[in-house]
Amino acid sequence: MAKRLVLCAAVVVALLAFTAAEGEASRKL
């Protein structure tokens, strides 16, 4: 169960980081 929680947290963090990177890229353009 704990492993699944950590995995979900990692996915959420990755999605947030990806979204932030996309926002930065679009802002530069």
pLDDT value at residue 26: 83
Query: Using CA atoms, how far apart are residues 26 and 7, in angstroms rounded to an integer?
Result: 29
pLDDT in tens, the chain (29 residues): 899 999 999 999 999 999 999 988 888 77
- Give the 3-state secondary structure of residue 16: helix
Rounded CA Rg of the chain: 13
pLDDT value at residue 23: 87
Query: Using CA atoms, how far apart are residues 20 and 25, in angstroms rounded to an integer?
Result: 9
